[in-house]
Structure 1
Amino acid sequence: MRATGGAGRVPRLLGRPVPPGEVVWLTVVWLLLWGDPSVGNVLGGLLASTVIVWALPLPVLDSGVRIHPVAAAVFLARFAGDLVMSSFRVALWALRLGVQPPVEVVTVRLRTSSEVMTVLVTIALSALPGSLVLEARFADRRLVLHVLGVEGDVPATVQADVTRLEGAIVAAFGTSQDREELR
């Protein structure tokens, strides 16, 4: 989102905003396309980027995602650990010749009402080996999961794992409203 006042004010050219971040990004793309960071290419990229950003302004959109660096680092570390453990568990089941791993289809309930956070949880769950999101029901905050290799009380175990993952994702990327909803 672009700031409109004070120190975060966006420069204007002939009355229209020209966000410096967009100009720099387009200039980098320009230089990558030309493959030669000469003075002429940099100046040409800055000029072309400025004209493009001025003539074709992008709308201000709120993605519903806020990055909280410490919580994001914690989430990434936990998720990396989950990836390793899930991969190890699936590999062990693959090495057990003639033994079928336990397979379940489980419905879990999410605590968040944010569609953006639900999508992030769905992506994270689908990225883990041994789990796959079969269906996401936004209206009643439910996910239907296919899980492999989980033993014991499968619904309770999966619900606990999903709740932990959801909490970490919302803490790392949620808005203040999303974070408040999980308290």
Structure 2
Amino acid sequence: MNLNVLAPRLFGRRVPLPLVAWLALVWTALWGELSAGNVIGGLAAGFVVTWLLPLPAVDPGIRVNPAGLVRFLLWFARETVVSTARVVYWVVHPGQPPTQVVRVRLRTSSESMIVFTMVAITSVPGSLVAEFYPDERELAVHVLGLPGEVTEAVRADITALERRIVEAFGTRADREELR
């Protein structure tokens, strides 16, 4: 499909028609009445806004690799079940649960991959990213319910998680950075 059809040139600048349609829909919804005047006004406003204020081309640095995505999702499902059971155990168990804050250095420099890693860590029950140190690319991760000295085990788990995320969502450069 020719994408130029969806973004024709108007006085030398591209105007993305799907964005114009979305803006017209929002315009009409804000006026609260579906009328020809509101729709035409919304289309006109959409054309003017997208022509005067063009959006820059942005590459978020995310590529979905289906095999890596399946491996990540399987790990995430398993980890969610195991961690939930561990948290439930410590909720019903009398006494103070073991907690620890572990600093983990990330290997990737991709902001997208770092954010995905932080979200995955925080989404698993019993773990939380307490702080991110961007200059060192380190996370301070709070873990709950793991007895004993678990620093190296937590670091190894997060390093493996980072690798899974980069394999699932990273670019070729992101994957090469981890080698």
Tell me the distance in 1 between the aligned counterparts of 2:175 and 2:25: 35
Deviations 1:91-133 (A, max 9, x none): 1100002x22111121222121223322221232123221122
Deviation at 1:38, TM superposition (A): 6.1
User: Corresponding residue for 2:116?
Assistant: 120
Task: Flag the 1:132–1:20 CA change in 2: closer, same or farther, 3 A.
Answer: same
CA RMSD of aligned residues (A): 2.7
The TM-score with structure 1 as length reference comes to 0.78
Deviations 1:8-61 (A, max 9, x none): 444111111102332233234335445666666554433322221112212233
Match of 1:53 among 46, 50, 54: 50
**Residue type of the alignment partner of 1:161:** D
Match of 1:111 among 107, 111, 116: 107
Task: Flag the 1:67–1:91 CA change in 2: closer, same or farther, 3 A.
Answer: same
User: Corresponding residue for 1:12?
Assistant: 9
> Gaps (5+ residues) in structure 1?
1-5
Tell me the distance in 1 between the aligned counterparts of 2:43 and 2:69: 33
The TM-score with structure 2 as length reference comes to 0.79
CA contact (8 A) 2:64 2:168 kept: yes
CA contact (8 A) 1:27 1:46 kept: yes
- SS class of match (1:25): helix
User: Corresponding residue for 1:27?
Assistant: 24
Moved more, 134-143 or 159-168: 134-143
Q: Percent identity?
A: 49
Deviation at 1:147, TM superposition (A): 0.8
Task: Flag the 1:12–1:123 CA change in 2: closer, same or farther, 3 A.
Answer: same
Task: Flag the 1:25–1:66 CA change in 2: closer, same or farther, 3 A.
Answer: farther
Deviations 1:125-148 (A, max 9, x none): 123221122222233332221111
Task: Flag the 1:36–1:179 CA change in 2: closer, same or farther, 3 A.
Answer: farther
Is 1:167 the counterpart of 2:169? The answer is no
- SS class of match (1:91): helix
- Paired positions, count: 176
Task: Flag the 1:39–1:174 CA change in 2: closer, same or farther, 3 A.
Answer: farther
**Residue type of the alignment partner of 2:18:** G
Match of 1:62 among 59, 64, 80: 59
User: Corresponding residue for 1:83?
Assistant: 80
Task: Flag the 1:36–1:92 CA change in 2: closer, same or farther, 3 A.
Answer: farther
- SS class of match (1:101): coil
> Gaps (5+ residues) in structure 2?
none
CA contact (8 A) 1:115 1:138 kept: no
